[in-house]
Structure 1
Amino acid sequence: MTKKLVAEALGTAILVLFGCGAAVIGGAEIGFTGIALAFGLAIVAAAYSLGAISGAHLNPAVSLGMVTAGRMTVAEFAGYAVAQVAGAIIGALVLYLIVSGKPGFVMGEWALGSNGYGPGYLGEYSLAAALVFEAVMTFLFVTVILGATGAGSAAGFAGLAIGLTLTAIHLVGIHVTGVSVNPARSIGPALFAGGAALSQLWVFIVAPLAGGALAGLVYKAGLTRA
């Protein structure tokens, strides 16, 4: 179990550092498409390097979906979630240490790639839009993960399918919430950014967990598997 938790922490740190790092450091040059690819490629890298150890969930919503699908215990979920949040905080810390070294750096209201919504945040979408987007997209994301890693799936392609799905979700929704679909990914940057990022954090915990849990229930019912 220790190896699994270390793998989850390391993988989630990679996701935050690569994905949020692309947004913060190279966002102006690579645009939304580049940021979306960075998140997707981070998942692919983690899946193929760490997946054999822990399954490379890297996301409490994914782990909760595994619980409701009957593929993980609640105790295992708790350990995974703690490791994932710890990894996200480490990833955000490393990112902060890098970007704070740039002359003139100022910690903005939604710094370090924090998720958000409403006035002042990207497309300024409403709270309702943010909740719907995060819940629905997490449901779809976890549905793909459960299918790609379940019995009868094509061997060796799960990481690619999952990474491409996360890329597509970012292409659709960066302007809406910055895309979370992952409570840990949101917690790490928000703890450093504070302010609005921290006060709005509940959205990016509640909605993804609800979407992930529902995906697991639907999968367990046999509605999204052979």
Structure 2
Amino acid sequence: MRIAVLDNDRSQADLICQVLTSAGHVCQSFDSGKDLLGQLRKDSFDMLVLDWQVADMSGTEVLRRAKEKLPGTTPMMFLTSSSAEDDIVAGITAGADDYMVKPLRRGELVARVQALLRRAYPAQNGAEQLQFGPYIFETRPGRLLMDGNVIEVTHKEFYLALLFFRNIGRPLSRAYIHEAVWIRETAVPSRTMDTHVSRVRNKLQLRPENGFRLVPVYSYGYRLEKLGAS
């Protein structure tokens, strides 16, 4: 999962990212609310971890504005250096899903993050079979079927297609797709991603007559659209 971390203490942000990266996530840190909200205008994250006391903006304001830019299911956890009940109530009331009091404990941080992600994205947690219309993804063997017939796809094509179906209607940036599918491959030419997207579109027959359409989002990335019955 891709997680944004907001903390104006650089060493604290680095520690959080180190812990969550070790748990298998992709992290990007920000040291101001303005920078985070600016990034949300052009990129997507699966979860936010937010310091309640950043210098340029209140925690309440960051949460409110972030919620305007992300799907309502996106989990948000805030961090506070105060265990005062008023601060905790303010954070939960503003829409946070959970909180932690500093200093952070690594094991607890991972456990709380994983719990929020499991609740927000139940289909991504060990499911052996996922179905979207005529398409069935068997995640453990990595097999893809359409109308009961196996579609021959590569490993990356399988996970690229699954990424689109798990985010139907949601624009995915090229950076997000790269980090989700190519993971540790740092230099992936733009043409490589476009070629894989084209193959997924053709192999899965993502055309209006089949109820789905995979379209480019100009200067951003791609979006899989589910079409209503005609």
TM-score, normalising length: structure 1? 0.22
Relative contact order higher in (CA < 8 Å, ≥ 6 apart): 1
**Which structure would you say has the larger Rg?**
2
Q: Report which of the two has the higher share of helix.
A: 1
* TM-score, structure 2 normalization: 0.22
Which structure has greater strand proportion? 2
